[in-house]
Structure 1
Amino acid sequence: MLSRFFKLAENNTTIGRELQAGLTTFAAMAYILAVNPDILAATGMDRAALVTATAVGAAFSTVLMALLTNYPLALAPGMGINAYFTYSVCIGMGVPWQGALAMVFVNGVLFLALSLTGIREKIIKAIPYQLKIAITCGIGLFIAFIGLKNAGLVVAHPATLVTHGEFGAPGPLLALGGIFLMLFLVARRTPGAIVLTIFAVAAVGLFLPDGQGGTITRLPESIVDTPASLAPIALELDFTYITQNLWAAIPIILTLLFVDMFDNIGTLIGVTQRAGFLNKDGELPRIGRALVADSTAAIASSLVGTSTVVSYIESASGVEAGGRTGLTAMTTAALFLVALFFTPLILAVPSVATAPALVVVGVFMMQSARELDLKDFPWAAAAVLTILVMPLTFSIATGIGVGLITAALLMLLLGRRKETTVVTLVLAVVFLLEFLRTPIGHLIARLTS
């Protein structure tokens, strides 16, 4: 039955190979079960419930992708989007997490509408390639910066804004060791390098003091338990924040939309290309179904109580292990649900253990910088500013906005209008108006007083 449903013979694979590939994919991306709750909990959301939301969101979306496309693609809450949700939207802008979840829902609905109408591909094509690469790199640098901050390796300083932390302290020293161990294992192409390092660092933390009378890692009361309830965060969307702050909400939703689009399309093409699914014209069969699956996943993620679920590039590890069909994805989804029963163990993982994963994922994303053409100064300026502004302002949206505005202005002033698009110009205007919203409001208030 499995062979017929997933067309294993047509794809030159077997049940055993698909199951092994699914296990490989899960091992490569299981770190998200510890990292995503660690990031989103900073908004005030319940951390135990976030573990359940992460696993359920990943499992549901992965099963949906498998059934609709029969591709070996796994999905989970996206790195970068979760950082934007927490540090830019909730902490930076003061948006309650309930309001932020409502924006994720609206983003998902728009995402689905754009996918069904075919507009999504047109928007992606309209954004200049250099800015797409710069956005990916900027998010990578931002994620790595957050990892260094969470590890205590980078701290605030009144004179220089940031400086290095106390490297000799147990926490930062352990995190630093974890970073180098993870880099080494990834360079050696060790299967499950990220999750292995996380648990190795957490294990060593059992024997190191935390400076408060305990140890960095504290043993849970039990290793296996029933999954935590979703009740504290599921269906807690607050749409009143959007209706009352519509002008401020639009750039946030647009940023969620663009990061979601770039992340999903890039992963979809990258993984399926490795699997040999692209036809002679470079087109992907059943791409419409894949786009519907990941846009539906964005809606589902907001309902269970987590940031946007996206396709994971770690799916490529399962493809390398021989995975060719949706059975690989179904296996990965099943393992996410099994992991829920080990929630106490996942919750015991400290921030210094998950911090190396952020740094290494940031390195992965920064590797796209090799595709930047820095010889053309105007495009180089827009790209570099996009990359720099994201970590320096702790805001992905601000980085995207500055990059779009820079590119649009330079192309118009230099008489190179044909090198940009109407979409880029419109988005630049939207972000510019958002940046000037406060001073314009003050000016109007003075003129009317």
Structure 2
Amino acid sequence: MLTSFPAAMAEPVADFSQDTWWIWLIKAVFIVLYLILSVILALWVERRALGRMQNRLGPNVVGFLGFGQAFADAIKLMLKEDISLKGAEKVIYFVAPAISALCAFSIYAVMPFGPQVSMFGIETPLQLADSSVALLYILAVASLGVYGLVLGGWASNSTYPLLGGVRSAAQVISYELAMGLSLLSVFLVAGTMSTSSLVEGQTDLWNVFICLPAFVTYFISMVGEVNRLPFDLPEAEGELVAGHTTEYSAMKFGWFYLSEYINMLNVSSVAVVVFLGGWRTPWPLSAINDGMFNEGWWPMLWFFLKTWVLMFCLVWIRGTLLRMRYDHFMKLGWKVLIPVALGWLVAVAIIQGIGSFTDIDTQMILIVLAAIFLVIFAVLWFIEDKSDPKEVAADGSISDPKDDFDAYAGGFPVPPLPGQQLPPSPRAKRAPAYSSTAKEADSDE
């Protein structure tokens, strides 16, 4: 139970005092291999899952169940012709993919895979490093990663990559604000930014139950952060061909591709550590034999399973939703996610402040507020907007936007605004007449 603000940020609970240089090396090599192999597995899972969702076969020829297709794609990228642009900024053009990949690999340095274990006779936590400001480190590195996209688009000296890079910058600014606010509310509740301490603080109750609005905000923001459908505006093939990667080929494109999937693992793992108990065993397995599954090497399994559940959710969203329009995307970030995250942060600060002077159970109050938020969200989700928007003309007259909408009024086609409707298609008028004619011809025969 938390009844007051922490006097200071809690120090990490992970003990690295016995670690040696070769233990650090083993952990670092394991993280790199884990991320690369996870990307290969993610490619196979995504293709097979999307194939089933969209009633397609998916890869099923190369290797068992098509699992070798990801290895074949990697070999193809390494053997593909590496094109160098004549008009590109040479140094930045080559450095940009490396920036994205380096930042993507760096985030897992502070990710806890499990508790203290014995490794070759040395007691060490299943974590490479930790800090009292580990969450700030994660946000900082994630912010630096966008420089690879922006510089790659600018250095290509081409229009579409530049537009993709600009969109990436706008997207990160918009959605990292909401993501940071959601994580900040958890810091107020837990009193620490250390990843190992965050996991330790969720022994009895996961933060997702205490800070449900923050988790919802973070989950939506993390989809926008990794440029996944329906938020893949920087590389939308309908408008920008392939965005910042248009002028890249071979392994330079491969580094961008690799960093995108590693970032999916990064944001999923952060959600697991901050909201879903980290490596702690889910209930009711946590109650078996006094928590035997929370000791030794078992917790690594729970950490991987939780991460991959969120990874599959990202794949599921890609196979279900359509790409958003860019103005709708910005509206969601600035007018919905940021106000919700900021409102929840203020509510948490007020409740924690009251709890510092009284003996109230702040956790129970936050759980009740989270339940109220869930009910309000469900009600708003299912209530249809029946408002009738009006437009005010320059002369002060009020008109109904649903009447006489002309998409070519400005000389070029424009999409309808909210509340406006396109006129019925001429084909829709001809379709009933054609179907009736066809039926009469069939009856005559």
TM-score normalised to structure 1 length:
0.29
Q: Which has the higher helix share?
A: 1
TM-score normalised to structure 2 length:
0.29
Relative CO higher for 1 or 2, CA cutoff 8 Å, sep ≥ 6? Answer: 1
